[in-house]
Amino acid sequence: MKYSKEYTVKDEHIDVQGIMDGLYYPFYMEYCRHSFIDEVLGFNLETEAKNGVNMVLSEYTINFLRSLKKDDVITVTCELHRDKNNIPKLHFKQSIILNNKVVTKAVFSGTCVPATGGRPFIPETLKTIIENAPVLE
C-alpha cells in the first residue's frame, strides 16, 4: 500500500544556492512517514512512547536525483516493507516527487524497543500488517 502527502518547500529550507539544503529532504520524508505510521498502521508514536514502546530508526539510505526550490509543491510517498530475513524491522520505501518525477528516494529502517531498554521487537498490533507487506529486496 502506497501512501502519499503533499507539502510545499519552505523558504527557510533553501540554501545560498537557491535550492533546498540536503538536510531537509529526510525531514519531509519523516513528516510523511509519521503520518503513515499513525494513520495507516494505527501506531501513534506519542501514545506508544507513553506506554513504554519506542519506534526508532536504525538506518537509512537516500539518493538525491534532482534539487528542489522554494515553493515547490511536492508529493512524498511511503510504503511499508518487511525484512527478508524476518528480523524485527520495519522498512519504509519513500520518494519525493515533483512534477511526476522522482527527486529523492530513500529507505528508512527501524524497529521498536522497550523504553526501559531491551531487545528490538515488533508489537503484536503491527505483526499482521507487516506479514502482508512486500519483502524489501
Q: Which amino acid belongs to residue 104?
A: T
Q: pLDDT of 7-34, one tens digit each?
A: 999 999 999 999 999 999 999 999 999 9
Stated pTM of the model: 0.95
List CB contacts of 123: < 8 A, sequence separation 6 or more.
43, 48, 53, 112
Class level of CATH domain 2-131: alpha beta
